[in-house]
Every structure is written in structure tokens, then in C-alpha cells.
Structure 1
Amino acid sequence: MSSKHLIEYEHASPEVRAVFEDIMATRRVDQVNNFWKALARHPETLRRTWESLKEVMAPDGALDPLTKELLYIAVSVTNNCGYCVASHTAAARKAGMTEAMLGELMAVIGMANETNRLAVGYRVPVDAAFEE
């Protein structure tokens, strides 16, 4: 998708501007990133996605913000979403992730994906000890 498909703040409808303003206020930034500008093409999706993300990624949950960002990176790497990897790696760095942590995270992601494929390929039955 080219940048011509992104909705900039100055061209946004009042509904989209309201979501953009909430994103900027919540994240303490002066502009929204391209993901939100792309979703602004469908205001209902923009609003729903932002509200869900804001709730799931809230800092007051059982998981701390860095852990949430690390999980987001892991899923994004596995799903091959370069945009999400970049975005959430930047957010994880802001939340305290070090280069050593990123390296170890990538090792875990690679290992989990490898062993997951092996378990699926061999159709390994789940051990009774792992059942609840």
C-alpha cells in the first residue's frame, strides 16, 4: 500500500481525528504512525482496533508493559509482519528492552517455531502430565 492510501490528520473526518487525538494523547506523541493512518480508511475498524489495543496493552494489567511488547514482537516475527516487528521493537526499547534481551528473545522465537513445527509434523500426542 502506498502512502496515498494513508489518511493524514488534516484530511481526516471528525471521527478519525478524535481517534487520532486519543492515540496521540495516550502515547504522548505528536503524530500517529502509518498503521493507524491506513486503518483510518475505515473509521469503524480504526476505532475498534484502537480501543482493543489500548485495553490489551494497558500498563496496569497482570503483565508489565515490556513483557507485553516482547510477546507482541514474538507473534509479529512468527506472523512475518515487518511493520509490527519494527513498531513493537521500538516500543519495547522505550520500555527497557536491551540488545541482549532482543537477542535472547529472537533465540526463543526461533526455537519455539522450530520445535512447534517438529511437534506438529510428528503429530506428538500431549503428555498426560501436561493436561489439567
Structure 2
Amino acid sequence: MKPARIATVTPVSEESAVGKVVAVYADIKATKKIDFVPNIWRVLATNPDHLELTWTRLKAIMHPEAAGRTSKLDPLMREAIALAVSATNGCAYCVNSHTAALRKLGFDAEAVGEVLAVAALFNSTNALADGYQIEPDVLPPLDG
């Protein structure tokens, strides 16, 4: 029996990984404190340079502590933003991944729903403001 298809390319298994893919896979598992390499990374590994670039960028933004940096946003805030954007973009893979991350960080179903409600609200009001081409009148300060 053939394994279930998970992408348009054959993902790179942990067992068949070589070179930089092995190192990136190890870093993903250590940084995320998980014991497997998620499908998105196994698919991106079909192009090792792309895998490395995407992981390095994601690690710097979503796991700055692991990269030796302090963020103004805590992990819960970063994951909530990621969930809201993923829902807006219609990415089922990312919605599931970031919902799981939020649940792991202590969010319950009601809190996840609140994040999605805020995202839905602003998708709607943004569309209205854009459709009416409303001139901004509440502006943030330029400095500090």
C-alpha cells in the first residue's frame, strides 16, 4: 500500500536526509522541543538551500530566544499573530500548526476562538475602509 500523499513533491524523510538537511532537522527538533520533523520542513528539504533560508528566518522571528535574541513579543503573542494571519491567508496547515502551538502554550478553545474573531473582524473592517478609500485620521507617532 502506498503511503498517503502529503504534498506535490516527495518529502525528505529524516532517515534519508543528508548534509545541511540533517543539521536543519536537528535544529528544528531542538528549537521546537519536538521529536519529529513536521511535514512543511520535510517538503522544503527537497531544496536544502530553501529549507535552510526559511528555517533561519522563521527561527529568528518565531524563536528569537533560541537565536540568542530578546523579543518585545512573547511566544503567545507571536503564535496568536501567526494563527490570525494563517486563517486570513487560508492556510489549513499553518492554522493547525499555530493552533497546536497556542494550545501547548496554554490557550484554550475559547482563547483560540477570540484570536480568530479578532482576525475576522479586522478582515471585514479593513475591507470596508479599503473599499471606501477612507483617509487615515488616527496616526501613530513617528518616534518613541
Length-normalised TM-score, structure 2? 0.85
Structure 2: gaps spanning 5 or more residues? none
> Does 2:30 correspond to 1:21?
no
Q: Output one character per residue of 1:33-80: Cα deviation in whole Å (capped at 9) or x when no partner.
A: 000000001101111111111111124411110110000000001111
Deviation at 1:30, TM superposition (A): 1.5
Structure 1: gaps spanning 5 or more residues? none
Aligned equivalents of 1:78, 1:69: Cα separation in 2:
14
Deviation at 1:5, TM superposition (A): 1.3
Work out which of the residue numbers 39, 46, 55 in structure 2 matches 1:41: 46
Work out which of the residue numbers 134, 139, 144 in structure 2 matches 1:130: 139
Aligned counterpart, 2:112: 102
Whichever structure has more helix as a proportion of its residues is: 1
Work out which of the residue numbers 43, 59, 62 in structure 2 matches 1:54: 59
Q: Output one character per residue of 1:3-42: Cα deviation in whole Å (capped at 9) or x when no partner.
A: 4611101111221111101111112221110000000011
Aligned equivalents of 2:52, 2:127: Cα separation in 1:
36
Aligned counterpart, 1:76: 86
Q: What RMSD in Å do the two structures reach over aligned CA positions? A: 1.4
User: Secondary structure at 1:56's aligned position in 2?
Assistant: helix
The number of equivalent residue pairs is 130
